[in-house]
Amino acid sequence: MPEGVTEQSLLTQSLWNGAWIAALATGIVVWGLILWACAFHRKKKNSPDRLPPQVRYNLPIEILYTVVPIIMVSVFFYFTSRDETTIMKVTGTAPVKVKVDGFQWSWRFTTEYQGKTAKVDGVPVDLAKQSVENPEGPQLVLPTGSEVEFELHSPDVIHSFWVPAFLFKQDVFPGQVHNKFQIKTLNRPGVFVGRCAELCGVDHSKMLFSVKLVPQTEFDQYIQSQAGSAQ
Ligand SMILES: [Cu+2]
């Protein structure tokens, strides 16, 4: 797993770890029972035709293997539902708002912060040009340690906004449905790759972008310069 750079990603990571530990523990018990049955209840040489004791319609066993899986599924459901509720929460109060347009085949990021707007336009992929001029696609700049709200739009087909370091992706739907999500970035500056995770046409694989996390002061300067150049 990539190292998470949002508070939400830490939750995703711990849910993932917990699920794997639980699944492995279950696996060890099941594999143990299978091996035990293979070793101790196989056909013996000296009693070739004798069947082992049959346990059909054994009520305690039936109840056991109905109740135990229900408990296990309930536990998975509880933790998944609890964490998902937190991860999907959009408060509407995030200081930084990003409108994402995913289109065939690039991204446009419109960042709003304190009444200022910065726009980063991905050059629609030109088969010959993109790999030379802008191999990484557009770059979204965000402050560290800040809440950021994303709103996802598409003018054409379904895309999927994915930053592996967020341990999160969300589909980008054309039309009236606008998916939203919110993150709280950690204090971990850096550049993180992003891509489209929904096969969306011939240049789907070139819908690359990156997210750059910078300290708040640097972000202020960035927004200032972007807003200035736009005017
Ligand atoms: Cu796409």
pLDDT of residue 56: 82
205: CA distance to ligand 1 center in Å?
A: 8
**Per-residue pLDDT for 143 more than 90?**
yes
229: CA distance to ligand 1 center in Å?
A: 29
**Per-residue pLDDT for 114 more than 60?**
yes
Of 87, 120, 141, which marks where a domain is finished?
87
State whether 80 and 105 are in the same domain. Answer: no
Of 22, 56, 87, which marks where a domain is finished?
87
199: CA distance to ligand 1 center in Å?
A: 6
Of 87, 115, 131, which marks where a domain is finished?
87
4: CA distance to ligand 1 center in Å?
A: 23
Evaluate whether 185 touches 133 at the Cβ level (below 8 Å): no
State whether 45 and 141 are in the same domain. Answer: no
State whether 100 and 65 are in the same domain. Answer: no
**Per-residue pLDDT for 127 more than 60?**
no
17: CA distance to ligand 1 center in Å?
A: 30
Q: Is 172 helix (H, G, I), strand (E, B) or coil?
A: strand
State whether 47 and 137 are in the same domain. Answer: no
44: CA distance to ligand 1 center in Å?
A: 60
98: CA distance to ligand 1 center in Å?
A: 18
The average pLDDT across 155-175 equals 94
pTM: 0.83
pLDDT of residue 128: 45
In this structure, is residue 16 part of a structural domain? yes
State whether 112 and 179 are in the same domain. Answer: yes
* CATH code of the domain containing 169: 2.60.40.420
State whether 72 and 102 are in the same domain. Answer: no
Provide the token pair at 25: 């523990």
129: CA distance to ligand 1 center in Å?
A: 18
State whether 163 and 194 are in the same domain. Answer: yes
153: CA distance to ligand 1 center in Å?
A: 11
State whether 214 and 189 are in the same domain. Answer: yes
Confidence of residue 86 (pLDDT cuts 50, 70, 90): very high
State whether 222 and 157 are in the same domain. Answer: yes
Cα 31 to Cα 140: distance, rounded to the nearest angstrom: 47
State whether 149 and 215 are in the same domain. Answer: yes
- For 108, the domain range is 96-226
Domains contained in the chain, number: 2
173: CA distance to ligand 1 center in Å?
A: 10
Q: Please calculate the CA angle 168-10-120 and round it to the nearest 5 degrees.
A: 45
Between 42-51, 88-97, 208-217, the lowest mean confidence (pLDDT) is in: 42-51
Evaluate whether 146 touches 173 at the Cβ level (below 8 Å): no
Burial 172-181 (b: 16+ CB within 10 A, else e): bbeeeeebeb
